[in-house]
Structure 1
Amino acid sequence: MNERFDVIVTILELIGTAAFAASGALTAIKRRFDLFGVIIIGVTTAVGGGIMRDIVIGSHPVAAFRDPLAMSAAALISVLVFAALAVKGDLGGKALKLYDTAMLMLDTIGLGIFTVTGITAAMRSGVSDNTFLLVFSGVITGVGGGVLRDIFVNKKPEIFVGNIYACASATGAAAFLLCYGMMSFMPACMVSLAVTFSLRLMSVKFGWNLPKIQIKARQERRIAATKENLINKKGA
């Protein structure tokens, strides 16, 4: 991997780090975390996926601790987001709508970029011949930080209940590997980002989800029946 390639990957990683750190900070702020909590969630979202990836591919110490740039940038972005919203001091109405849009876009940007950089990190570790591991490394880098973020704020991880997320990452990873065998890094990267972005945003716009089985437990049915009885009594 040449020097120009390394520079491009570093730039992509910083953009992805900033996007994920901001999404983590916004989530923490909405959950009313203090400044320390906002920084922790922002940093965790930004570097959590990379830490998981390095553990899987056996890269020790993990990149986040070998080079403090990503963690420092994530902490700085988290503080800036906190400061900006502290000045505004409002997440209601239009601000809340803007928050939801910002979360979607930041999460999508981070997902697409980290999917690519996760694959390149695995390639550097010497597993270029293991296609499954390359795709897995891309996906875990893309979704890992978001999973940790959601767990830390006591929320069901988005990849398990929301619109298509991990599947968008996996498809983007497959597109990158397919194109990288036929063209140089940047065109392959652009194709991968376009695939991941498009699939993720279209899934949100059109409500695409993987199938779920809706099961109501007996207790839930009793609660629903009790609520219905109370409503009927009030109506009478």
Structure 2
Amino acid sequence: MGEGERHRVMAFGEIFFAALEVAGTISFAVAGAMAALEKRVDLFGVIFLGATTALAGGIIRDILVGKIPPSAFSNYRYMAIAAATALIVFLIARMFREYYQHHVEVVNAVNNVFDAAGLGAFTITGAKVAMSMGYTENGFFVVFLAMVTGIGGGVLRDLMIGEIPFVLRKRIYAVASILGGVVYYQLVWRIDDMAAAFIGIAVVFGLRMLATIFKWNLPKAYE
């Protein structure tokens, strides 16, 4: 592969990865807004919970590595995307109330696919940030930050609306993020970083889809 072709491949990979992050931001914001609607909160609550779901994981990660202010407050693109998405969900639910209520399961099913892709992208983003901040030798911390980036927003959202966090009770969510982070961290030393990132995302996405299709859950002491 020539130098020019290698640059084109890297550029495509970066664009695709950025697109996945945007898709994940939108998906997480939709999930947060829908959870807020179920609790009958007002417009501000819908936007706040949507943005929290989409951004809180990255904010927690940045604070843990000493990146102040967190990226969400220095690059407003993702904040704007999350807030706009939550607002659109609110307007649709308000203007087309009956249609929304009758099709909420379909919306959830479609959103679940984007959510899985977003979880994968955010997981790898968390690992990349940890390694870029100098924690390349601390594999445990890299994987931990990968998981926090992927699930932190959803956990905080559920706590704010008085629910047991989804990631602690259904569909192998946090476990998928952990495994994706582990795969990425193990592969990044052996193969191209972009290839390792895509494989890590594929692991997270594949596990989430399989868990959804086959209704996989971790065992509980009491059913």
Cα pair distance change 1:8/1:96, threshold 3 Å: closer
Report matched runs for 1:1-236 at 5 Å: 10-90=18-98, 91-93=100-102, 95-214=103-222
Give the TM-score, by structure 2 length.
Answer: 0.86
State the Cα deviation string for residues 57-100 of structure 1 (Å, max 9, x = none): 2222211112222212211111122223333212434x132133
1:150-201, Cα deviation, whole Å (9 max, x unpaired): 1122211011111211100011111112222222233222211111111112
- Check the 8 A contact 1:22/1:106 in 2, yes or no: no
What residue ranges of structure 1 are gaps of 5+ in the alignment?
A: 216-236
Equivalent position amino acid for 2:72 in 1: A
Number of equivalent positions = 213
Q: Percent identity?
A: 37
Equivalence for 2:3 = none
| CA separation of 1:103 and 1:15: change in aligned 2, threshold 3 A | closer
Unaligned runs of 5+ in 2: 1-6
- Given residue 169 of structure 1, which amino acid in structure 2 is its aligned partner? S
Give the CA deviation at 1:143: 0.4
The structure number with the bigger radius of gyration is 1
Q: Does structure 1 conserve the Cα–Cα contact (< 8 Å) formed by 2:20 and 2:117?
A: no
Q: Report the CA distance shift for 1:26/1:102 in structure 2 as closer, same or farther (over 3 A).
A: farther
The two structures, once aligned, show a CA RMSD in angstroms of: 2.2
Contact 2:55/2:153, CA 8 A, preserved across alignment: yes
Letter in 1 for 2:45: G
